[in-house]
Chain A
Amino acid sequence: MKPRSIASFGVLYLFLTVVAVVTLLPFYWGLIAAFRPSNDIFNPSLLPGPLTVVNFIDLFRSSLYPRWFLNSCLVAIAYASLTLFFCSLAGYAFAKYEFKGKNALFLIVLGSMMIPVWATLVPLYSLYSKINSLNRYWVLIVPGSAPALGIFMMRQYIFGIPSEMIDSGRVDGCSEFRIYLSIIVPVIPPALGALAIIMFMFSWNNFLIPLILMQNQVRLTVPVGLASFVGLTRPVYGPLIAGTLISVIPVLVIFVRMQKELVSGITIGAVKG
């Protein structure tokens, strides 16, 4: 569509800009508050004023933040990698193989999305505490590492790959796993990229599961660590805001560099494709 007049053009821009400013304002306030001295954090002025890094120093001195950050990185990277492997493998099987019960099995995969995390939360907690696995990183990485959404995305993408490529591999006598590795994997990086970003962000921002399963201060992830500040008797806003700001940086960097892949990944399931 094209706008009809200069005036409507102007109104449109004004409206879009106002919404954009309102949307970005909390980030801006967070950014300047993180660098303000503690008595000035709630200053409503939009101008930064005198700035300091004392909040960041406080954060690193008074909490295990660097450790939490490392934990979050480790968990998110391990989770995303495992997800890529399991989802591409299953997506490939559902897209390019004929086998008994294929449709029923795929329906089970899709149906698994209907089970809310709340239904299994308490029994999982009880299970982990019985096998002595609370505070272990694997409980954040392994259980959800073959998500239906990822399998669905991969299947949609691999459908589009010509089957002749796979057959040529068979003629050459490659093993089935070899075909996956050397024919399928090299042509799906766009889909892998999209899935990797979504899964990394999901893990990075996940709050509920680590809140419940990680109780040892040393094993916390960033969101849980930050939330533990909020419940303090005297909340210390300086370090809290500084820590929140740092926690946003990794997803921000990914967002800026890979927005296209991210958006394509989100829309693949939603818009008929």
Chain B
Amino acid sequence: MREQKYTPYLFISPFFLLFTLFSVGPLVYALYMSFNRIESFAQAPEFVGLRQYINILTDPRFHRSLLNIFTYTVVAVSFTLAISLLLANLLNVRLPGRVVYRSAYFLPVVTSLVAAGIFFRLILAERVGILNEILRSFGLPSYRWLNDPKLMMPSLIVVTTWRSFGFFLVIFLAAIQNIPSELYDASRVDGASITQTLFRITLPLLFPTIFFCIVTATIGSIQLFDEPYVLFTAQGGVPPRDEVITPAIYLYNSAFQQFRFGKAAAVGFIVSLIIFILTLAQVRIMGRRGGFST
């Protein structure tokens, strides 16, 4: 039995080794980088204290990215979860062929964000895009879906919703099917309407799952990068405009286009802190009501 004492530590060691080398270590190093001006790895870093944090926090472009991502998160998360919750409830009806529908809704989830972005460029492109061709053929005006400052954010939300509602749909569907059917039988005996059943049984029992999805979707949204990058990178590799800049794009620009690595590390810290605080806040506000336990 002596061997047994060390075995579990040996079995979990790959995680802890990789976690230390590629997460904790870099995190500590990022903190160091964020206090130094580093514009090339060949030069010695120059200590600048909090200056980079101050520069970022007073940069209107960074403010814009925060404003964008909060608008985006609120709208996209509620939109996506509402659609998937609705469809999950509809698919819970014993319909012949409902598996086919579920598959159809789930298909975009397995598609890469890059592929989704490219398919939608085909549809939304300004002069030649399919959507505008269709509008024109009906005698309607065409729109600059990917260039008009007013339309860029709505276009982005439509694309990301298309890509992600199937994911939450599958989770909601599984949760609904976990609800004991006796509850529904009882409510039917009592003569409850479909709406009553939905609001009195399904939604309250789904609350922990809905909460889980809100947290997951929010964390994902705040880190949004791939979709705006692919949809709005202009010809010649010009980065996306301010209307759709996200903190992640801001970080990418700082590090890999302006080569201000110290500043980018500071942005990474600020973004992580925002995610951390938001998650804690959500857990505190909603966890109290929903009996969500961790």
Contact = CB atoms under 8 A, between A and B. Distances in A.
A230 B23 contact: no
B213 A92 contact: no
A23 B105 contact: yes
B139 to A, nearest CB: 14
A12 B237 CA distance: 45
Contacts of B62: none
A270 B171 contact: yes
Nearest to B28: A123
A7 interface: no
A255 B110 contact: yes
Q: Give the interface centre of A23, A26, A127 by most chain B CB atoms within 10 Å.
A: A26
A98 to B, nearest CB: 8
Interface string A242-273: 00100110011011000100110011001110
A60 interface: no
Interface residues of B, number: 103
A23 B94 CA distance: 22
The secondary-structure label for the interface of chain A is helix
B253 interface: no
B261 A122 contact: yes
A47 interface: no
B107 A1 contact: no
B110 A129 contact: no
Nearest to B113: A207
A255 B133 contact: no
B118 A233 contact: no
A235 B235 contact: yes
A232 B237 CA distance: 7
Nearest to B248: A118
Contacts of B268: 116, 118-122
A99 B9 CA distance: 8
Given A2-B93, A16-B101, A201-B110, A271 B209 contact: yes
A146 B247 CA distance: 27
B68 to A, nearest CB: 16
B244 interface: no
Contact of A93 (B8, B118, B272): B8
Contacts of A262: 110
A186 interface: no
A176 B119 CA distance: 50
A86 B12 CA distance: 8
Contacts of A234: 235
B118 A1 contact: no
Interface in B79-99: 87, 90-95
B18 A115 contact: no
A41 interface: yes
Closest 3 CB pairs of A and B: A205-B112, A231-B237, A44-B133
Interface of A: 1-4, 9, 12-13, 15-17, 19-20, 23-24, 26-27, 29-30, 33, 41-44, 86, 89-90, 92-94, 97, 99, 102, 105, 108-109, 112, 114-127, 129-130, 142-146, 148, 151, 175-177, 180, 201, 204-205, 207-208, 212, 223, 226-227, 230-235, 237, 240-241, 244, 247-248, 251-252, 254-255, 259, 262-263, 266-267, 270-272
12 contacts: A3-B95, A19-B105, A24-B104, A26-B120, A43-B130, A89-B14, A109-B12, A118-B271, A119-B271, A241-B122, A270-B174, A271-B209
